[in-house]
Chains A and B, each alone.
Chain A
Amino acid sequence: MTDRRRIFLLLAPALMVIGGLFLTGLGLTLLRSFRYMPALGLTDPDLAAYVAVLTRPDFLASLGFSLWIAAASTLIAAMLALASALLLRQSFPGRAVISFLVQLNLTIPHIVGAIGVLYLVSQSGVFARLARAAGMIAAPSDFPILTNDPDGIGIILLYVWKELPFITLILLSSLQTLGEDHEAVARSLGASRWQAVAHVLLPMISPALLSASALVFAFSFGAYEVPLILGANAPKALAVLAWQAQTEPDLVARPEAMAMAVITALIGLGLLLATLRSLRHRGLHAR
């Protein structure tokens, strides 16, 4: 058997699954977003659903909202993760316990964390009770609205909590492969601790930080169950709005749901491809 034939046979089952489920699923969503639904007598594809969606005020509000929660969550999580990774690679009392907790968080499903955040920071949650005990508030309604709020504070809090460990572990493994040598050289050449981190270490781990952050952004931008639990009635996160449109009894609304889903995926895809390009670009320059 030639190598080419062997490679093809090895890859065939995976490509069939990805092609048959993922690409076909995407394709059908795309077709329907162009209002091509022969079963309903729609046989002339057009862009009407996109025009309708892009002029819907609730869609534009959702788009802005999802971009906001994804950007805020990613930025805060990335900064805290950088600090956590720099902390966890050094020795301090209790480090083993802390890194166990960071890893444990990675295995907790988002929906569990979302319910936990709800019980923690809602107006009758644990923090509100602590504020009351400290005499800062008199009634639950005095506590700031942090869950199901139009600014998505609860959602952002959940994503920061959940994605911080993800980015931290990626940074730690990147640090592990780099070793301590580069920093030691910088220090021996007279760089201060901070200079060694900022000018030597940071540029070296920035590809890992960038790709991890892009993944976090794409995920928090398009996810469904967290805003379902912690989100407000308006504006809804994109996935929640699209799902709602998809489950409307009026079948004519379907193409709009499909168009929303396609736009969500396209923005995620665009961001990931841009990240990939920028990493490649940097790689070329480094060479």
Chain B
Amino acid sequence: MRGRGSRGLAGLALGLFMVLPVLPLVIWSFAHGWRFPSLWPEDVSLDGWAIALSDRAGVLQSFGLTALIAAATTLIALLIGLPAGRALGLYRFRGKGLVALLLVAPAVLPGIAVVFGLHGIFLRLGLTGTIAGVILAHLVPVLPYVTLVLAAVFSRFDPAFEDQARSLGATPLQCLTRVTLPAIWPGLLTAALFAFLVSWSQYLLTLAIGGGRVQTLPLLLFSSASAGRNDVTAAIALLYILPGLLVLIITARQITGRGAALTGGIGS
């Protein structure tokens, strides 16, 4: 079949394009000296990885800090986004369009204008240079994603189940843990993973609010890239991809289906 063959070739080209910028990172991370014009490193070594993973480099601490910030941001965003998503998904009310627009805006507007003002506010509150300040700041781009995903989840949720549970004598807490949460669980997981990755990728907000004192992985990666050790930089870059890869393996299907459908819904 001619069609399948040419599609296979086009697919190959697409796949190659997708991995292209990652390939030099993989090679560099194992290179011990890779001067122009060599096509392949003169020596293969684990030096880059050894330095990146050593205590002195602080990459692992930074990895932990970035994960902590992302996890805390995710948790807070879920606690706040869950009720908001419920309101948007289950009810029709006046001003709903405006509320939805307002809740989505931080994710789609160029961030730099918010970053400057937020820095001024946090300076006054003594939150600059603190982990708590960075977590609060990350809520700005993260909360819209969580709210949107959960609004879509709740729009397919039937609250009649909750009424039945309650009429059968369930307490509000039982109702939440035995009926609502299990019903929205897949969507909640998608929202949580999205939130984690959005926080995990933040650069400018962390730089501005953390003021260089909260060294998350992207900040460390940038200083390493400017310092010019390509092997170490490449190893850090690959470590930085890892959580995203894990998330994808956990929920590949959910991200394509639901997540993409949701982000597509922002504009419409």
Residues in chain A within 8 A of chain B (CB atoms):
3-4, 6-7, 9-11, 13-15, 17-18, 21-22, 24-30, 32, 83-84, 87-88, 90-95, 97-113, 115-120, 124-126, 128-130, 132-133, 140, 158, 161, 164-166, 169-170, 172-174, 176-177, 207-208, 210-212, 214-215, 218-219, 221-225, 228-229, 238-239, 242-243, 246, 257-258, 261-262, 264-265, 267-269, 272, 275-276, 279
B91 and A15 form a contact (CB under 8 A): no
Knowing A107-B248, A173-B260, A276-B267, the reply to whether A225 touches B222 (Cβ < 8 A) is yes
Complex alpha-carbon distance, A103 and B12, angstroms = 15
- When distances are taken between beta carbons in the complex, the residues of chain A under 8 Å from B225 are 115, 118, 229
Interchain nearest-CB distance for A126 vs B (Å): 5
Question: Digit string of B84-128 for contact with A (CB within 8 Å is 1, else 0)?
Answer: 101110010100000100110110111111111110110000000
Knowing A18-B106, A104-B248, A214-B267, the reply to whether A11 touches B99 (Cβ < 8 A) is yes
Report which of A24, A25, A119, A173 forms a contact with B264, defined as CB distance below 8 A: A173
Interchain nearest-CB distance for B38 vs A (Å): 7
A246 and B116 form a contact (CB under 8 A): yes
Complex alpha-carbon distance, A237 and B237, angstroms = 23
Report which of A100, A107, A218 forms a contact with B197, defined as CB distance below 8 A: A107
Contacts A21-B118, A261-B112, A268-B108 aside, 4 further interface pairs with beta carbons under 8 A come to: A15-B103, A17-B143, A22-B140, A25-B113
Interface residues of B in 239-258 (CB under 8 A from A): 240-241, 244-245, 247-248, 252, 255-257
Q: Does B263 contact A (CB under 8 A)?
A: yes
Complex alpha-carbon distance, A129 and B39, angstroms = 6
Interchain nearest-CB distance for B65 vs A (Å): 16
Report which of A26, A208, A219, A228 forms a contact with B114, defined as CB distance below 8 A: A26
A103 and B256 form a contact (CB under 8 A): yes
A239 and B112 form a contact (CB under 8 A): yes
B24 and A225 form a contact (CB under 8 A): no
- When distances are taken between beta carbons in the complex, the residues of chain B under 8 Å from A132 are 36-37
Secondary structure at the B interface, as helix, strand, loop or mixed, is: helix
A95 and B11 form a contact (CB under 8 A): yes
What are 24 contact pairs spanning A and B, CB under 8 A?
A14-B147, A83-B10, A84-B14, A87-B7, A87-B11, A90-B7, A95-B11, A103-B252, A111-B201, A119-B28, A133-B37, A161-B18, A161-B20, A161-B21, A169-B255, A173-B264, A207-B268, A211-B264, A221-B110, A222-B111, A264-B110, A264-B112, A264-B113, A268-B108
Residues in chain B within 8 A of chain A (CB atoms):
4, 7-8, 10-12, 14-15, 17-25, 27-28, 36-39, 79-81, 83-84, 86-88, 91, 93, 99, 102-103, 105-106, 108-118, 120-121, 136-137, 139-140, 143, 147, 197, 200-201, 203-204, 218, 221-222, 225, 230, 233-234, 237, 240-241, 244-245, 247-248, 252, 255-257, 259-261, 263-264, 266-268
- When distances are taken between beta carbons in the complex, the residues of chain B under 8 Å from A115 are 25, 221, 225, 233-234, 237
Complex alpha-carbon distance, A106 and B11, angstroms = 17
Interchain nearest-CB distance for A32 vs B (Å): 7
Interchain nearest-CB distance for A120 vs B (Å): 5
A119 and B234 form a contact (CB under 8 A): yes
* Most chain B beta carbons < 10 A, residue from A11, A128, A218, A242: A11
A211 and B267 form a contact (CB under 8 A): yes
- When distances are taken between beta carbons in the complex, the residues of chain A under 8 Å from B263 are 166, 170, 212, 215
Name which residue of chain A comes closest to B222, CB basis.
A111
B15 and A21 form a contact (CB under 8 A): no
Name which residue of chain B comes closest to A263, CB basis.
B113
Report which of B17, B91, B267 forms a contact with A212, defined as CB distance below 8 A: B267
Interchain nearest-CB distance for B214 vs A (Å): 16
Complex alpha-carbon distance, A242 and B117, angstroms = 13
Complex alpha-carbon distance, A262 and B37, angstroms = 46
- When distances are taken between beta carbons in the complex, the residues of chain B under 8 Å from A3 are 91, 93
Complex alpha-carbon distance, A84 and B256, angstroms = 14
- When distances are taken between beta carbons in the complex, the residues of chain A under 8 Å from B201 are 109-111
B39 and A130 form a contact (CB under 8 A): yes
